Structure 1
Amino acid sequence: MKKFLYTASAAALALAATSGFAAARDQIQVAGSSTVLPYAKIVAEQFGETFTNFKTPVVESGGSGAGIKEFCKGVGEDTIDIANSSRPIKADELKSCADAGVKEVQEVRIGYDGIVFATDNKGPDWALVPADIYKALAAKLVVDGKLVDNPNTKWSQVNPKLPDWDIAAYIPGEKHGTREVFETKLLDAGCDKAALKAAGIADDKEIGKTCIAIRKDGKAVDIDGDYTETLARIDSNKTGVGVFGLAFYENNADKLKVATVE
């Protein structure tokens, strides 16, 4: 049975997969990326309205990694038919698919999205650069030539132009495809690799790992649910900063104020 993967890329990728269109079921099952979720729901609704002989597909979230994992469990009525993802499928995931009998996989890009930093809409304006985000959220920083646990507790310590708020960032969890975008486009881009080398880390791979390692002291909180959970965190902590998909932000612009990132 053939399965198809549909992907789209930009700041985030959108990936979906279909298998035999639920041959043993009368309803298509979809799961995966919360970034792709709004688009997938629109497509599912249009499908149900256009093809009235079929039930409207069931679309759930859960994250890119979780969606692909379910997709790669095999073929048949007990597996999902479409996996949405905000990144391309990885080589080890393709192997997992093949080992479970999902051997004909085609990946197709379907659209573009981005990620934004946003705060409560009543908060001050924010202007960030990747180095600010790295200094606020990295697990370790070089201080006085030595690699130490991140000492910054307020955004104003990172950059005096930023608000004097305690650092509280709600970021995509590790199973989300947008986590990779966050790591590569912001953390890695803002990382001072020369300082890490000067501090004694010679291996480029180790430098790369250090650049994207997130602090675990409660200042950065992984959100494993969808963006509604991130929004709820911002609503309960008015000085928190959240990472959202662009489409989600645009649908909630009355509640959020976007930060500029240069």
Structure 2
Amino acid sequence: MTGSREAERPEPSIPARAQAEPGTVHLVGAGPGDPDLLTVRARWVLETADVVFHDALVREAMVSSLPKSTEVVDVGKRVEHKTPQSAINERLVERARAGDAVVRLKGGDPFVYGRGGEEASYLAERDVPFAVVPGVSSVIAAPGVAGIPLTHRDVASRVTVITGHETPEKEESALDWAALADDVASGATLVMVMGVRTLDRNVAALCEHGVDGETPIALVERATWADQRVTRATLSTVVDRAAAADVSPPATAIVGDVVAHRDAIEDVLRPFEPA
């Protein structure tokens, strides 16, 4: 299905500045999962798109309510159904050049471990116009809904975010585990995304470089989803507790003294109620 459909879009209530443009790719952040956390601009762009290519972590509720004229394509990278990034790039270019208003809907924020930067470069190299609509990253959302402040005036004044896919044994790793350990030991907050499968190695690397085993850590699974869970532990106990609780991706790990803040407010913190 190609070609723009001017007669079918947009709804009059959507400002012209926020409508998806024909011949343009819109890199849109879907947020952590709950449809209520989709930004207003993202919803407007989605509702005026001709075609939406979405990731595996995007909730069905976000796309099921779109106009029937909108083509919705799942290009998630699940193990059983993995769409190569090269194929996604080519399809974005193909549809934009055909005159469609294209949305690439990505979990969280498109430029935070979402390959949005790669897609932007691919489009730019081929002179395909694109726009970016930021989303609420799980880096912020997961600690937030769990009652864990990433910074606290009395505890932590800086935050470091890494991907857990990087393992300590990887040759020429981009991660400096000694520096990360020093940061945590000095009171900084460390956030690890996509690190469930490498949790044991990442925790071991921090401890081997001097972080106290009693340092608190929390694992927030499926933040803002109906089955959200929080597993609280210390670095010395988290691997066993995660195994016992059968923690599974997607999950965000927060390491540092700020995690203890949850203990003081947990009893009065209302759970996040997803749409």
TM-score w.r.t. structure 1 length? 0.36
Tell me: higher relative CO, structure 1 or 2? Use CA pairs within 8 A at least 6 residues apart. 1
Tell me which protein shows more strand as a share of its residues.
1
TM-score w.r.t. structure 2 length? 0.35
